[in-house]
């Protein structure tokens, strides 16, 4: 079972649950099972640009991202990209 950890805002959207245990072969398969999947993926099914995913502490964007294979007990951590400070967009 892979473990998926969500940041606070996504956990709030998932009814307060921040930790999920899921059967999944890849990162994409795990993320698409989440009740907040439509916040992670846009209408084309693409992972939103400013969402980072770490698998066992390694940035999956530097690897195969959604196709990154998961081991039993892999830890998948969803993190918003470091992108603050632009006044009109985020701050």
Partner 1 sequence: MGTLLPVGTKKGLFLLRGGDGNESWRVEGPVLPGWSVYHAIVDPRDGALYAATNNFFYGATVHRSDDLGETWERAEELGLAEESGLKLNATWHVEPGKDSELWLGGDPGVLFRSDDRGATWEVNRALLEHPTRENWQPGAGGMCCHSIQLVDGTMYVAISAAGAFRSEDGGENWTPINKEVAADFMPEKYPEVGQCVHKLLAHPARPGRLWQQNHCGVYRSDDRGDNWERLDGNGLPSDFGFGLALDPEDPDVAYVIPEESQEHHYTAEGRLGVYRTGDAGVSWQLAASGLPDRAWAAVLREGFAFDDGGLYFGTQSGSVWTSARGGGRWTEAARDLPPILSVEAAPV
Residues lying near partner 1 in the complex (CB under 8 A): 9-10, 12-13, 38-40, 42-44, 48, 50-51, 80-81, 83, 89-90
Rounded to whole angstroms, the Cα distance separating 22 from 30 reads: 6
Question: Which letter, b or e, does each residue of 32-66 get, where b requires 16 or more Cβ atoms within 10 Å of its Cβ?
Answer: bebebeebbbeeeeebeeebbbbbeeeebeeeebb
| Closer Cβ to partner 1, 21 or 43, answer by number | 43
At its nearest, how many Å lie between partner 1 and the CB of residue 71? 27
At its nearest, how many Å lie between partner 1 and the CB of residue 37? 10
The arrangement of strands across the sheet holding 58-59 comes to 19-22, 2-5, 75-80, 51-55, 58-59
At its nearest, how many Å lie between partner 1 and the CB of residue 34? 12
| Closer Cβ to partner 1, 42 or 67, answer by number | 42
At its nearest, how many Å lie between partner 1 and the CB of residue 55? 19
């Amino acid at each position: 079972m892979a473990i998926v950890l969500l940041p606070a805002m996504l956990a709030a959207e998932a009814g307060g649950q921040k930790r999920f245990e899921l059967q999944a072969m890849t990162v994409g398969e795990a993320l698409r099972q989440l009740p907040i999947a439509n916040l992670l993926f846009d209408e084309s099914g693409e992972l939103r640009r400013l969402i980072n995913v770490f698998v066992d502490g390694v940035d999956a964007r530097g690897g195969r991202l959604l196709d990154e294979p998961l081991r039993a007990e892999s830890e998948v951590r969803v993190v918003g990209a470091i992108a603050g400070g632009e006044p009109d967009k985020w701050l």
